[in-house]
Amino acid sequence: MQENKFPFPGIPTTSDGAGAVVWVETHISQGACAYPITSSTTMGQGFQAEVANGKRNLWGEKLFFFEPESEHSSASVCEGFASAGGRITNFTSGQGLILMKEVLYTIAGKRLPVVFHIGARALTSHSLNVHAGHDDVMGVADCGWGIIFARNVQEVADLTLIAHRAAENSETPFLMVQDGFLTTHTIENVLLPEPELMKQFIDDPNKRLKNLMNPYFPLMSGVVQNQDSYMKGKIAQRYYYDKVPGAIKEAMETYYKLTGRKYDFIDAYKVEDAEYVVVGMGSFMETAMATVDYLREVEGLKVGALTVTVFAPFPGKQIVEALKHVKAFAVLERMDNPLAQSNPLTMSIKASFADAFIGSRGYPKIDRIPRIFSGAGGLGSRDVRPGDFIAIFKNMMRNDGKEKEFFVVGIKHELALEREYDPDVRPKGAFSMRGHSVGGYGSVTTNKIIATLLEDIFKLQVQAYPKYGSEKKGLPTTYYLTAGREKIRTHCELTHVEFVPMNDVNAFNLGNPLAGLRENGMIFIQSDKVDPKDVWSEIPSYAKKIIKDKKIKVYYLDTVKIAREVAPTPDLEQRMQGIVLLGIFLKVTPFREEYGLSEEDLFKGVEKSIRKYFGKRGEKVVQANLEAVKRGYYEVMEVPRELIEVTEVKAEFEI
C-alpha cells in the first residue's frame, strides 16, 4: 500500500467530539454564536477560549464569538451574520435546538449555508435529562436543513468539513449531529484535518459566500408574500434542494481523494450476505458492528449493521438497494414517538420500500419487502450493550409467533427484549479500566489525560468517557477507559475490565465494584492506612472472596494526603486526588514494561500530556500535577499475596 497515496492523512492525536468541532470551526469559520446548554457547552467554551487567545482563522481574520440571552437569539445572530456573507456556526442541544426552530425555517428559506453543531440530547418530555437522545434533532427535521450523524470523534471532524462544503455548494444549511456526552465528551484517537487540507477543501468565505445586504447586488429576502406569490417561492426552493444530494456526494468523494477517509450516505457493514441486519444512527452503531463480528465468528450467523450517516436528504434508494435481499431488519432509534405510524427513521425506511415496491422511478425493482422490526433504545444515554443487539437479532430470527415487532432494549418493560448473555466484544488484547470515584475529585480529567498519554507514548487506540450527570458533583460516579492496538468500538459501559481504581472509599458499600474484573486483575483502594493488614481488614468479606479466588492484586495509597501536600492552592486539593491516580495507573499496569520505556522517557510523556490540559494555568500548576503523578507512581503500595491467601473468607452476601 502506498504511504503517500493521499496528500493529507491527518494529524494523529486524541480528542473528544467537542474538541474536534472546535479544531475545525476555529480554522474555517469567521465566528460563532451560541447560548450554553449541556451537552454542547464545551464546544462553545472551546471556541470562545480560542477567541480569547487571539486565534485567527485560515485567512488571517480574528474570530468572533457572541453569547446572547437564549438559543433562539443565538440562531438569529447567526442568521444576520450569514445574511451579510459571513461563515458562522452555532452549538446547541435538546430544548435549545427546539427553541431555535422558528429561526431554522428562516435560515433555510434565505438559503444561508450555515452549519450548526448538535450534541443530540433527550427532550424534557416527562423529566429533565441532559444525555443523548435523537428527539431534539427529529423535532426540527422538517425545517429544510441537511442532517448528518457522526458515530465517533473522527467522523465529527471529517463530516464537519463535508457538511460545510456541501452546504455552501447547495446553498442549504446543515445540522452536524453527534450524540450528547457519548461522543461530545468521549476521548478517542483522531486524525485531525490539517490546516492546509481545510484551506484547500473549504474556500475563503469572503470569496465564496453571498452578502444579501450588498446594495450593489440588490435582492428580495424576508418579505411578506400573500396568496399570489408565497407558493411560487416555496416550491421554487426545490431548485436548491435538488442540488443537495449531489453536493454531499461531491464533498465526500473529494474528501476521500485528499485524505483516504471514505464516507457515504450509508455505511453497510457486512450486509452483502447478511440475512438479518440492525439499522440505526449515531454512536451505538459501532457497538452493533462489533457485535456483528462476534456473532459471525462465534455463532456463524449471517448478520450485518447498516448505519445511516445522512438522514436528510434521506437516502431511501441506497437503503433499499442494501437491504432488499435480507429476510428481516430491525431499526433501533434513540427516541420514541408512540402516536406516529412509526418512529422517524423506521417510517422513512418503510416509505422507501413502499416506493420501491410500487415501482417509483429511480428505486431498485423489488418483488418483496423484508420483514421490518422497530425498536427504541439508548434514550437519555441508557446503556445499549452487545447483549441488546444479540437480543435484537434473535428476536428477528424467531418463528414461534412471540417475536416483538416493536421492542425496547435496556429496561424492564413488557416490550423489552431481555439479554440472554452479554459478551466481551472488545478487540483482542484490549485493556480496560472502570473507575469508581466522586464527582469533583478530578477523576474525569485524569481519565482523559491517561487516554491522551496512552496515545502519545504508546501509540495505542483509546476510548475514555465518564458517566456524567447533572447531579454528580460530590456524589458517586463511574468512568471508563479502554486501550488496545485496534480501534475501540464498544460505546457502552464496561463490564469486562482488568483494573478497578476506587477513589470513592464507599464503593464497596454501594454495589459490587469488582463485577466483571478479570482473573489476575488489579484494584486500587484510596486509604489513609499504611499497614496492609489495616487496608485488608476494611474490605468486606464478599470482596475478599472475589479477590482471593480471582487472584486479584490489591494496591492502596492515600491520594488525599498527597493532593493536600502538593496542591499549589486549596481549591485544587480535591481535584488533584485524581491526578495522583495517573501515577498509580502507570505503575501497576503493564504498558511501560511491554513497550520497554524507561521511567525518564515515561515522565517526559507524562509532562507533555499534563501541559496539554493544564499548560494555560501556569508552570506552577503543571509542576504540581507532575509531582502528584510521580508520588502516585513511586509511593503506591500493595497488599501482600501471602496476607490474602492465609485469610479465611466466605461470601456472606452477594451484591
Predicted confidence band at 191 (pLDDT cuts at 50, 70, 90)?
very high
Angstrom distances, CA of residue 608 to CA of 10, 457, 613, 626: 20, 10, 9, 10
Look at residue 459 and tell me whether its pLDDT is greater than 60: yes
Q: What is the mean pLDDT of residues 315-326?
A: 98
pLDDT confidence tier of residue 472, bands split at 50, 70 and 90: low
* 328, burial (CB in 10 Å: exposed 0-12, middle 13-18, buried 19+): middle
pLDDT at site 476 = 84
Evaluate if residue 2 carries a pLDDT over 60.
Answer: no
Mean pLDDT confidence for 81-108: 98
Nearest to 444 by CA among 475, 482, 477: 477
Q: Which residues pair with 408 in a beta bridge?
A: 376, 416
Instruction: Say how far apart CA 375 and CA 385 lie, in whole Å.
Output: 14
Q: CB of 75 within 8 A of CB of 104?
A: yes
pLDDT at residue number 3: 54
pLDDT-derived band at 126 (thresholds 50, 70, 90) equals very high
pLDDT band at 648 (very low <50, low <70, confident <90, very high): confident
What does the pLDDT read at residue 578? 85
All three cell numbers of 574: 480535591
**pLDDT(651) > 60:** no
Confidence of residue 1 (pLDDT cuts 50, 70, 90): very low
Q: At 201, is the pLDDT very low, low, confident or very high (cuts 50, 70, 90)?
A: very high
**Tens digit of each residue's pLDDT (9 = 90 or more) over 215-261:** 999 888 889 999 999 999 999 999 999 999 999 999 999 999 999 99
What pLDDT does residue 504 have?
86
Rounded to an integer, what distance in angstroms lies between the CA atom of residue 462 and that of residue 482?
A: 6
Res 638: pLDDT: 98
Alpha-carbon distance 200 to 309, whole Å?
24
- 652: pLDDT confidence band, cut at 50, 70 and 90? low
Specify the range with the lowest mean pLDDT, choosing from 110-119, 145-154, 216-225, 620-629.
216-225
Rounded to whole angstroms, the Cα distance separating 307 from 207 reads: 36
Write the pLDDT tens digit of every residue in 347-376.
999 999 999 999 999 999 999 999 999 999
Mean pLDDT of 513-525: 97
- Structural domains for the chain: 11-259 (3.40.50.970), 266-408 (3.40.50.920), 431-646 (3.40.920.10)
Per-residue pLDDT, 655: 42
Percent of all residues in the chain with a pLDDT value above 90, rounded to a whole number? 88
For every residue of 307-373, which 3-state class applies, written as one string?
EECEEECCCHHHHHHHHCCCCEEEEEECCCCCCCCCCHHHHHHHHHHHHHHCCCCCCCCCCCCCEEE
Q: Do 240 and 171 meet the contact criterion of CB atoms below 8 Å apart?
A: yes
Q: Which residues touch 53 (CB under 8 Å, ≥6 apart)?
A: none
The pLDDT value recorded for residue 142 is 98
Distance CA 438, CA 472 (A): 7
Question: What is the per-residue pLDDT for 654?
Answer: 46
Whether 197 shows a pLDDT value over 80: the answer reads yes
What is the reported pLDDT for 554?
98
Average per-residue pLDDT for the chain:
95
636: left (phi over 0), alpha (psi -120 to 50) or beta: beta
Question: Does position 130 have pLDDT exceeding 60, yes or no?
Answer: yes
Query: Stretch 75-80: mean pLDDT, rounded?
Result: 98
| HEC-encoded secondary structure of 168-237 | HHHCCCEEEEEECCCCCCCEEEEEECCHHHHHHHCCCHHHHCCCCCCCCCCCCCCCCCCCCCHHHHHHHC
DSSP bridge pairs for 303: 276
Q: What is the mean pLDDT of residues 567-579?
A: 87
pLDDT for the residue 471: 54
Q: What is the pLDDT of residue 443?
A: 80
pLDDT in tens, 27-43: 999 999 999 999 999 99
Instruction: Note the pLDDT of residue 4.
Output: 59
Residues 6+ apart with CB under 8 A from 493: 383, 385, 434, 467, 478, 480
The rounded distance, in Å, linking the Cα atoms of 546 and 551 is 8
- Pairing, β 461-466 against β 476-484: antiparallel
* pLDDT digit string, tens, across residues 287-302: 999 999 999 999 999 9
Question: Per-residue DSSP letters for 624-641?
Answer: HHHHHHHHHHHH-EE--H
Confidence of residue 441 (pLDDT cuts 50, 70, 90): confident
Mean pLDDT of 314-330: 98
Output the pLDDT for position 188: 97
Q: Reduce the DSSP state of residue 435 to 3 states and report it.
A: strand
pTM here is 0.95
C-alpha cell at 600: 525518564
Are 77 and 68 in contact, with CB atoms under 8 Å apart? Answer: yes
| Average pLDDT of the segment spanning 484-494 | 95
From the number of C-beta atoms within 10 Å of its C-beta (0-12, 13-18, 19+), residue 272 rates as exposed
Q: Is the pLDDT of residue 470 over 70?
A: no
